[in-house]
A and B are shown apart, each in its own frame.
Chain A
């Protein structure tokens, strides 16, 4: 027990003193997760909107499939991306394997269903009544879509943050396609996994606390947005 307390106090000292090792990993993690979320947002928020505002056969099935993919195991995504970008894979020529871009690609694939699915849910949560009201007040198709987007913006932002939360905390993809290379592809989660394995408790706890803080910040923002969205 005293060992654990000691490790905690060392971890807190590392955070307070701004330990460069710990903070470079934290910054890298933030950067990778942010770029992944940005790319996924640019690609999959519009896809969610397209699915929501269009009518096609099998739409319900498509939405159901997207929602099922929320809980896809990270190691499965990691394996898939690994096979795609490994030397013999179709994207092997890009030489992305064991680079931060490989992790970014993996995280984009991982959070794509979350951002697409939650965007659809956010737009649907405004209700048919809102769309009908906008139409009844003389809105054309484009105006109505813009109105629905404007009403759903906070909930949509929540979906992006949920994606970021998933990206920042995943470990399977980062280890499998990033390789956990020190100073290059090591992220908070992979560093914790390695540290615990090696018995380096204090730095692992410090990294864990930072990860927990990030998750907490995301959760607070999501809650605030949801509260604001209900107003």
Chain B
């Protein structure tokens, strides 16, 4: 592990911002810290970047527990670089901004010039070296800030909401560039975002925070496909979340019995991702263990796809289908329809 945060607590003005957070960041990973605004992501990142000291808890960098000794902190901080949500540009040119971190490390001018040129090309800012940093657009400022951090060749790069307030095209482009840099350099990245889609675009693993605590952590696929709580299911965009009474592999949602692949007893919740449900006009002869009849209640556009709400025994179930599938099925509100999904696709928590 390159970075381990153990039971981190942080108080600000008497409020507990972090209530005992622990994360392990493996070397070379792209670790994404997710969660809604105000859940403590930035506070945790500032501690990870050694910009703030926690009220309690341990920071372990490359296996060594850090103390509060200033010299040790500065030495470690120089192996980490942080890029903030709203990057601040120093007065002067783009190259002077990018080269500043090298200058204070005593690197000679010719080397600074060559490394600055290379890194600007790397982040897609060739030809920007002499531009006044105050004239840059939002996206260019972020790329400059990224170059300013990357040029230091840090072992750990921390990014706080790099895509915030950028228009979707710029954001996609920036995240794509960040991912490419991660793959090319092998540097460990820790990124905070409130947008789960951004996290999926770049992350290999991560943790979801809520109210100063970690709600769930692990590989991105597990976070996406195996939400462990109702909050997680909702955060990862899973719809069709229902309260249910469980008995082994069966769950009763009102009068509907749904089969799932886990074993659970008592009361809880289940979620059926709209993308895993198959619609058909005739009963489907498949191995799927959940097969129901229903009536189409509404059809609404959702981006490039469609959300079809099917009422099954008074329970509205949303099914996501493509435009092609919608045209093929020729359905409209009131159409009787069959839906099916696998037991393994049902999340229970």
Contact = CB atoms under 8 A, between A and B. Distances in A.
Contacts of B78: 138
Contacts of A150: 91
Contact of A137 (B86, B91, B101, B134): B101
B88 interface: yes
B81 A136 contact: yes
A150 B83 CA distance: 21
A138 B74 contact: yes
Interface residues of B, number: 24
Interface residues of A, number: 19
Interface stretch (A51-59, A139-147, A204-212): A139-147
Contacts, number: 52
A30 B29 CA distance: 65
B91 A135 contact: no
Interface stretch (A6-14, A83-91, A110-118, A125-133): A125-133
B90 A132 contact: no
B58 to A, nearest CB: 21
Contact of A135 (B77, B132, B134): B77
B81 A137 contact: yes
Interface centre among B49, B100, B148 (most CB of A within 10 A): B100
Interface in B61-118: 70, 74, 77-78, 81-84, 86-88, 90-91, 100-101, 104-105
A140 B74 CA distance: 7
Nearest to B134: A231
B152 interface: yes
Given A127-B88, A138-B74, A140-B74, A132 B105 contact: no
A129 B152 CA distance: 19
A132 B84 contact: yes
Contact of A138 (B86, B88, B91, B101): B101
A136 B91 contact: no
Interface of B: 49, 51, 70, 74, 77-78, 81-84, 86-88, 90-91, 100-101, 104-105, 132, 134, 148-149, 152
Interface of A: 127, 129-130, 132-141, 143, 147, 150-151, 230-231
6 contacts: A127-B88, A133-B84, A136-B82, A138-B74, A230-B134, A231-B91
